[in-house]
Amino acid sequence: MLSFAENTFSVKNNMKSFFKEDPSFVLNTNCLNFCEHQTKFSVRNWFETHGKKGRKVPRGNVGTVFSRFETPSNVKITVIGGGSFGTAMSKVFGMKGYQVCLLVRDRNIVDGINQERRNPKYLREFTLPHSVFATSNVESALEGTQLVVHALPVQVSREVLERVAPFIPTGVPVLSTSKGLEVASHKFMFELLQETVSNHGNRRPLAFLSGPSFAKEIMQELPTAVVVACENLEIAGQIAAMLSSSIFKVFTTTDFIGVEVAGALKNIIAIAAGMAEGMGLGMNAIAGLVTRGCSEMRRVAEFLGGSSVTLSGLSGVGDTFLTCFGPLSRNRTVGYRLGKGESLNEILTTSQEVAEGVATAKAVVEWLPAVLNTTYTRALVRFPILLSVAPILEGKLTPEEGMQQLMAMPPTVED
């Protein structure tokens, strides 16, 4: 349904053409018909039911509710997480004129943003738009919000999401920017969100943002291109329209599986690429490592039901290239320092921000063989890069031994 003033219109099949004529419609709190058709699932259940075909997403009769607002300043967006990317997302929405509430625990960050328009801990050299404000109060942060953006590290997400879930208005979509695999449960963010904020009692649309996007470059207002994935392409399109500007280009897809898998596994590849660089192995080795890593990542995603198109796009090779070669990459930096001879403990204790690939690499060693219903040794033959990083992080192999292990693999057909 669409509502403006006192008139209400039913818009379903002709939704795309309607919004093309009037782009001033923005996402509202009620996506109820869509939510009724969502199905809770876990990766492990897919293979028992569908095997390599992956998950079949139910496509019900979707009648999303939107409302018309005179200006974006009437729309409230809540960003959970005051780290680098949460701050950057606040700026992207704030530059469009939306009222952005940044929910953070640190009172110093709250005061810095509200008083000086700066995050005093992350990217403090940049100012934020005046429509961005911060709070530590969960209830006030989520009251009346029409879009929730989750921008916290995966390993702390479940605890926070369980705490804030009761305060998120019914039907309000959640957009996740987090990338990785939860160590304790071996679950992706879409599974965590299903279990916490979109459970049986309150179905809501879930969307996922990914792509080559360093937070610092977003804050510098340098051109950036990302993709938003959602089962419902209309909802993905509405979120994309809210984000898009002359410096922030947003594409859409329904393949949230491919986007999530690529977002998690590319960080492992980046650690491996950083190690190769730190050891001074040259660009031939790094390029070969990244290319074969992308092949492994694609095969995992396709096995789970993701699309090879997604893996060759912004959230796949695009984000992988940035993370593997970009000087601002946290995961590449971890690998580089390991390659130079530092211990993981030294690296982590001197790092201000989280490198998601460290936890994800350790989780994948247990998760991937289980998903493939095979042993670690057998899986290692097919996925030597994804499964060789964790033993190095844990001190079971040196970076040199890990590279020797890769080079000792028998010849095989390129796939």
Closest residue by Cα to residue 224 from 76, 342, 328, 295? 328
Domain closes at, from 254, 283, 301: 254
Task: Please tell me whether residues 299 and 392 are part of one structural domain.
Answer: yes
Residues comprising the binding site for NAD(+)?
Answer: 81-86, 215, 330
Q: Please confirm, yes or no, whether 266 is among the known catalytic residues.
A: yes
Which CATH number fits the domain that encloses residue 379?
1.10.1040.10
The pTM is what?
0.83
| Rounded CA separation 411/407 (Å) | 10
Residue 124 belongs to some domain of the structure: yes
Task: Please tell me whether residues 224 and 318 are part of one structural domain.
Answer: no
Measuring CA to CA, how many Å separate 66 from each of 197, 361, 371? 21, 40, 39
Task: Please tell me whether residues 218 and 285 are part of one structural domain.
Answer: no
> Which domain, by its residues, includes 399?
268-408
173-191 burial code (b ≥16 CB/10 A, e <16)? bbbbbbbbbbbeebbbbbb
Task: Please tell me whether residues 152 and 244 are part of one structural domain.
Answer: yes
Count of domains for the chain: 2
Domain closes at, from 219, 254, 289: 254
Closest residue by Cα to residue 175 from 314, 39, 79? 79
Residue 155 belongs to some domain of the structure: yes
Residue 30 belongs to some domain of the structure: no
Are 320 and 286 in contact, with CB atoms under 8 Å apart? no
pLDDT at 410: 85
| Rounded CA separation 301/247 (Å) | 30
Task: Please tell me whether residues 123 and 242 are part of one structural domain.
Answer: yes
Task: Please tell me whether residues 221 and 314 are part of one structural domain.
Answer: no
Residue 389 belongs to some domain of the structure: yes
Are 194 and 57 in contact, with CB atoms under 8 Å apart? no
Give the dihedral sign, CA 27/32/37/43: positive
Task: Please tell me whether residues 236 and 321 are part of one structural domain.
Answer: no
| Rounded CA separation 192/199 (Å) | 10
Task: Please tell me whether residues 245 and 362 are part of one structural domain.
Answer: no
pLDDT at 200: 59
Domain closes at, from 254, 284, 299: 254
Task: Please tell me whether residues 204 and 237 are part of one structural domain.
Answer: yes
Taking 50 as the pLDDT cut, the residues of the chain under it are: 1-26, 28-48, 50-66, 68-70
| Rounded CA separation 106/114 (Å) | 13
Residues comprising the binding site?
Answer: 81-86, 179, 215, 330-331
Residue 38 belongs to some domain of the structure: no
Residue 28 belongs to some domain of the structure: no
Closest residue by Cα to residue 265 from 297, 287, 309, 292? 297
Tokens of 97: 């004129």
- Active-site pick, 91, 96, 187, 266: 266
Which CATH number fits the domain that encloses residue 186?
3.40.50.720
pLDDT at 201: 65
pLDDT at 190: 93
| Rounded CA separation 257/294 (Å) | 16
> pLDDT tens-digit profile of 46-101?
444 544 444 444 343 333 434 544 478 889 999 999 999 999 999 999 999 999 99
Residue 189 belongs to some domain of the structure: yes
Task: Please tell me whether residues 186 and 322 are part of one structural domain.
Answer: no
Residue 414 belongs to some domain of the structure: no
Task: Please tell me whether residues 125 and 192 are part of one structural domain.
Answer: yes
Tokens of 376: 């670690």
Task: Please tell me whether residues 317 and 390 are part of one structural domain.
Answer: yes
